[in-house]
Amino acid sequence: MKEALVERLKEEIRYEFSREGPPEGFPKFPDIPAGRYREEGFFDLEMKHLWTKVWLYANRQEELPEPGSYQLWDYLHTPVVIVRDEEGLLHAFYNTTPSGKYYVEPHDDSGLYGERVFEEGYETKQRFQTQDEFPRRSLSDGVLKDPDTGQVYDLKGQPLSPTTGGDSLRELRCEVWDGWVFINQDLNAEPLLEWMHPLPEQMEMFQGEKLRLINKRRTIIPCNWKVTVEAFQEVYHFKHIHQKAGVSGLDQRGATMGVLPNGHSRMITPLSKRAAEMSGMEDQLDWSKDIMRALSSTQVSEVPVPGMEDIETVNGMTRCTSTAFSAFPNLVTPVAATGLPFLLAWPIDVRTTLFEWVTFCTDWGDGPSPVTDEAWQMRLNGFDSVMEEDTRNMAPMQKSLDSPGLVGMPTSYQERRIWNCAEQVDRMIGPEKIREDLRVPQLLGPYIDRSSS
């Protein structure tokens, strides 16, 4: 992230602290129609026109280390197999044959998941799964095969016996951003890095190429996928959900929101005055100290913990604030100087979401995963507590949205990241396909930040 942008963000925080209302001329948002969260028809439009056209996180490139390596991806009722070819390129193919069988049979990975229960919050004791092992698999004989016809395909999806007939395998777009593999069903989609702009430039300080997957957790939440995503795109909940003994470590009044192209966004929230003082900062905008590292409870001894090494290129702003980025439609990442999680919301049906939080850390080398280390367990369990606080309200939110008495959801200037996503949903679907009472007007165009600095 360029220093000029950091200074601009600091000025924006000062402005947020000083303002007594929205900026002059900023549009007043109408309520977001509640039907967007509860109507099957709108959900069907999303599934057909949105999820089939966007770049979606799939896995890490180091999970496919050599030719013939593969990983399965099965979200959105769309089985996919991702393989690495002899030239080192990654390919993604639909993993279903014309008869509905698989080119690569899914694995019984149930033994890789441990069952946990959130310690508090849900009356029903909400369960979640945790995964610490991530097997790296290779194709038998380095080929894909149709079990019905016997047709064999190479790692580029081409039939090895063209004389017997058969087309190439149906391929998806598959591209990599800093080690993260993304796929897209739209063969005409713009390149991944262009779609993500300016996130790759602003997040390059985390050296994603050198990070590594260490843990994945997931749970089912009875709510629309947008409820899950939007819960991480506003700042008011910090004070009411993440406070301890009535005290919050962040000051939501100073949070600055960046509405970026294609529905992406950024949020920088300063520490509260009390937290800044306790941390030895001169004020809330003194970003000269590594506060987040100093306050971290993950170091339980003086011996460095593998995977928790400091990423020296991470700037002072990130170390002294709560910094988060969102990639439309379903990825949110609250970043830190030692790594970051991806929070991912996957729609199952109009009122059900698979929610995952996937942790990436610095590479620990060739040894066994350090995930069982006491320090790592403290870090992961601590983040579980945050996830419990965040997710406990999502099912009640959906109940409110399902109420016939709720026609729409109010949205303010400070929640413009949510509105930015809503506008992008409509652009992906096509406003003309959406019933008029379910559309949102396109209002944020003049406020989209398209620069890298």
Least confident residue range of 164-178, 255-269, 315-329: 164-178
Query: Residue 115 above 70 pLDDT?
Result: yes
Which tokens go with 261? 């192209």
pLDDT digits (tens, 9 = 90+) for 358-405: 999 999 999 999 999 999 999 999 999 999 989 988 999 999 999 999
Which tokens go with 180? 């993260």
Q: pLDDT value at position 162?
A: 64
* Residue 453's pLDDT band (cuts 50, 70, 90): low
Homologous superfamily of 3-55+110-136+189-447 in CATH? Naphthalene 1,2-dioxygenase Alpha Subunit; Chain A, domain 1 (3.90.380.10)
When pLDDT is averaged across residues 332-339 and rounded to a whole number, the result is: 96
When pLDDT is averaged across residues 110-116 and rounded to a whole number, the result is: 92
Cα–Cα distances in angstroms (integers) from residue 94 to residues 53, 169, 382, in the given order: 15, 7, 37
Q: Are 186 and 299 in contact (CB under 8 A)?
A: no
pLDDT digits (tens, 9 = 90+) for 138-167: 998 999 999 999 999 999 999 997 655 568
Residue 195: which residues within 8 A CB-CB, separation 6 or more?
A: 55, 189, 262
CATH code assigned to 58-104+139-188: 2.102.10.10
Going from N- to C-terminal start, the domains of the chain cover 3-55+110-136+189-447, 58-104+139-188
Q: pLDDT value at position 57?
A: 98
pLDDT digits (tens, 9 = 90+) for 37-95: 999 999 999 999 999 999 999 999 999 999 999 999 999 999 999 999 999 999 999 99
pLDDT digits (tens, 9 = 90+) for 162-212: 655 568 999 999 999 999 999 999 999 999 999 999 999 999 999 999 999
CA 159 to chain centre: 36
Query: Residue 244 above 50 pLDDT?
Result: yes
Burial 287-323 (b: 16+ CB within 10 A, else e): bebbbbbeebebeeeeeebbbbbebeebbebbbbbbb
Using a pLDDT cut of 70, give the percent of the chain over it: 92
DSSP states along 273-302: HHHHHHTT-SSTT--SS-HHHHH-----SS
Burial 74-109 (b: 16+ CB within 10 A, else e): ebbebbbbbbbbeeeebbbbbbebeeeebbbeeeee
Query: Residue 294 above 60 pLDDT?
Result: no
Query: Residue 410 above 90 pLDDT?
Result: yes
Q: Are 263 and 329 in contact (CB under 8 A)?
A: yes
Q: pLDDT value at position 249?
A: 85
Q: pLDDT value at position 300?
A: 43
Q: Which residue has the higher pLDDT, 269 or 299?
A: 269
Which tokens go with 429? 């679907």
When pLDDT is averaged across residues 337-362 and rounded to a whole number, the result is: 97
Using a pLDDT cut of 90, give the percent of the chain over it: 84
Q: Where does residue 393 fall: left (phi above 0), alpha (psi -120 to 50 degrees), or beta otherwise?
A: alpha
**Residues belonging to the chain:** 453
In the beta sheet, which residues pair with residue 408? Answer: 33
Q: What integer best gives the mean pLDDT of the chain?
A: 92
Q: In angstroms, how far apart are the furthest CA atoms of the chain?
A: 75
Query: Residue 297 above 50 pLDDT?
Result: no
Q: Which residue has the higher pLDDT, 52 or 240?
A: 52
In the beta sheet, which residues pair with residue 57? Answer: 182
Query: Residue 240 above 80 pLDDT?
Result: no
157: amino acid identity, one letter: G
Q: pLDDT value at position 293?
A: 55
Whole-angstrom Cα distance, residue 416 to residue 25? 14
Which tokens go with 89? 């390129």
Query: Residue 103 above 50 pLDDT?
Result: yes
* pTM, rounded to two decimals: 0.94
Q: pLDDT value at position 135?
A: 95
Omega before 135 cis (within 30°)?
no
